[in-house]
Chain A
Amino acid sequence: MNMATEKSNTRLPSIEDTAQQERFKQLKRTSQSFLQNTLSVVGLLMILILVFAATFAPLIAPYPDDAGAGVHFDRASQPPSLEHPMGTDTTGRDIFSRVLFGARLSLMMGVIVLSIAISIGVTLGLIAGYIGGKTNSVIMRITDIFLAIPPTLLAMAVVAATGASLFNVMVAIAFSWWSWYARLTQGEVLSIKEEEFIESSQALGSNWLRTTFKEVLPNVLSPITVKATLDMGFVILVGAGLSFLGLGAQPPTPTWGAMIAQGRNYVTTFWWIAVFPGLAISFAVLGFNFIGDGLRDAFDVEVN
């Protein structure tokens, strides 16, 4: 054991180290309390089922071809049965299979939209926070405007202007969603800036990358995680609304919203066509809401 190692062993723990230790402890406590919450665990299971269904849809679906266009008039409009757990629609397609494939679309849409929204939002927030001054005000004004516009309407407007397709829908929704993440990140950067040990702007300038990863991001991580989880649910809801209006992926793509729209005409007779896709939507959103709610409570425990 030479002098060098001895010396490093007696170094006092830096503020960053203890902060990291604190964060690990907090993380442990948060996950513990999260898992103790029944609803959170149920939500987690629900989403796992959803992800499983979406990933293995081609393998699980009893009639995978029905996910596209398919005409089997011999089994059209059948009520739910053992062969067709969710019945068949007016062209004879198995609804259960279509719902499974719809899960893929919904999940994919949610993930992509949120990835875009969070990336844009956090980046803009960082820029606004670090550069400050006029850039900050401009970016924040824009953020406020976007925050004020109801996302469904904005998304609708964008899709109406650009044409109805799954891709456009995703871009449209992401377009309205980034603002909250920007606002949050910018706030965090500003509060870090105010902290005393990073007072001089030179220190901030040279270390900004490090500061971002060590200070800003860990702090915004928990509210972003909570919101992102809840947002997955909302994005799916908004997407479903748009598909319902015919603004999403075009038929025969089995988006849940479009399936409900089709089923709407047969409400008095073949109720299952509209009901089951909606159940799927509710299932997915509920799962995300359970998790998000549980996360929010778990993180709140720390604040207490």
Chain B
Amino acid sequence: MSYLNYVLRRALQSIPVVFGLSMLIFVISRVIPGDPVRLALGPEASKQQVQALKAEMGLDQPIPVQYMDWLIGVVRGDWGMSLRTNNNVLSDIVARLPATIELVVLTLVFAVLLAIPFGVIAGTNKDGWQDHVSRITALFGVSMPRFWVAIVLQIIFVVTLGLLPLSGRLSDGVEPPPDVTHFYLVDSLLAGQFGTFVDAATHLVLPAFALGLATLAQVMRLIRSDMIDEQRKDYVLAAQAYGLPNNLVEYKYMLRNAFTSSLTVIGLSFGFLLGNAFLVEIVFAWPGMARYGVEAILYQDFNAIIGVVIVVGVGFVSANFIVDLLYGYLDPRVRLGDQ
């Protein structure tokens, strides 16, 4: 019944999932590129060269052995070389990942924080003007392509109004703060560099907005419809009958129950944003992993592709895991029912 118990159990259940994921990725890595040796050597290579490279790459071993070799390599940090950058894929990704994560986390936080009050207001005023406005705004938000929103924002705020920077994480001439977490916002605060903090923040505003608008819209609508469902519940009527304050009922009695279904979507959104941030990253020249992944796909740099897929896959699984944990925390029936 304890929460710790629940957490441990969920963690244990995640392990086979992670293994399954790794196997899937392995299969993809062997299937998609066709003949990696040919790709590496080019069509002119002779049979012996092909054989030699095959042996060297371990591709003549039976599949399970290859899988184990590959898995061990992955865990050890040997993710191969990028065809495009000629660097170690892992180091490439490590250099770029924090940028993407900072962007995605901030986007998600901003989207959820705004979605909650708007969703609650829309839900508790069903068919009122607040509901209609929120619905139309949400529909707009979901209909505009993210990369185009990014461009429009640039036109308005950068070119016309000159308020915000055009691209990158920091302005020219601003030094990144000393590396602790690799997240500029956090590191600059830790180092007390408030100027850098503000600079990094202004660089995050437009990309986060462009990336998160659609997610905001989605989550807001979800919360709205869940709140409407909640209003029909008996315990909400009871809470009102007991004379509890309206906002207490909305946020403590209704939202907590309503939020649990939005939680799944939010968790999925994290993985989704991680994988789909590339369009926004491209427009804002954001030095992130998503952009790296797209460039890898376009270049057919398959080691890099696999590397990105691993990160995104792990991201997905972790996000779901955290969502499960939050579920267990918010809804006691889940952890009690687990027995």
A residues in contact (CB < 8 Å) with B: 39, 145, 148, 150, 152-153, 156-157, 160-161, 233, 237, 240-241, 244-247, 257, 260, 263-264, 267-268, 271, 274-275, 277-278, 281-282, 285-286, 289-290, 293
Contact = CB atoms under 8 A, between A and B. Distances in A.
A289 B298 contact: no
7 contacts: A148-B316, A150-B272, A153-B276, A260-B147, A263-B151, A282-B140, A286-B140
B144 A157 contact: no
Contacts of B136: 39
B317 to A, nearest CB: 11
Contacts of B139: 39, 286, 289-290, 293
B322 interface: no
Given A153-B275, A278-B152, A161 B32 contact: yes
B144 A156 contact: no
A161 B299 CA distance: 10
Nearest to A157: B297
A152 B144 CA distance: 16
In terms of DSSP, what is the predominant structure of the interface of chain B? helix
B275 A275 contact: no
B32 A237 contact: no
Contact of B143 (A145, A153, A245, A289): A289
Contacts of A237: 143, 145
A286 B155 contact: no
Contacts of A267: 151, 154-155, 159
Contacts of A271: 155, 159
A267 B284 CA distance: 12
B294 A156 contact: yes
A99 to B, nearest CB: 13
Contact of B279 (A39, A150, A241): A241
Interface string B240-280: 00000000000000000000000000000001100110010
A168 B51 CA distance: 33
B66 to A, nearest CB: 21
Contacts of B159: 267-268, 271
A240 B272 CA distance: 18
B194 interface: no
Contacts of B147: 241, 244, 260
B89 interface: no
B283 interface: yes
B148 interface: yes
Given A271-B155, A286-B143, 7 more contacts: A150-B275, A152-B275, A240-B145, A260-B151, A267-B159, A285-B143, A289-B143
B300 interface: yes
Contacts of A278: 144-145, 148, 151-152
A45 B338 CA distance: 51
B95 to A, nearest CB: 21
Going nearest first, the 9 A-B pairs with the smallest beta carbon separation are A278-B148, A285-B143, A286-B143, A160-B297, A282-B144, A271-B155, A289-B139, A150-B275, A274-B151
A157 B32 contact: yes
Interface string B123-162: 0000000000001100110111111100110110001000
Contacts of B143: 233, 237, 282, 285-286, 289
A39 B32 CA distance: 44
Contacts of B272: 150
A265 to B, nearest CB: 11
Contacts of B282: 245
A275 B142 contact: no
Contacts of A246: 298
Nearest to A292: B139
A282 B139 CA distance: 10
A282 B145 contact: yes
Contacts of B154: 267
Nearest to B140: A286
B297 A156 contact: yes
Q: Which residue of A237, A275, A277, A281 has the most chain B CB atoms within 10 A of its CB atom?
A: A237
Given A233-B143, A286-B139, A245 B151 contact: no
A161 B151 CA distance: 28
A273 B317 CA distance: 40
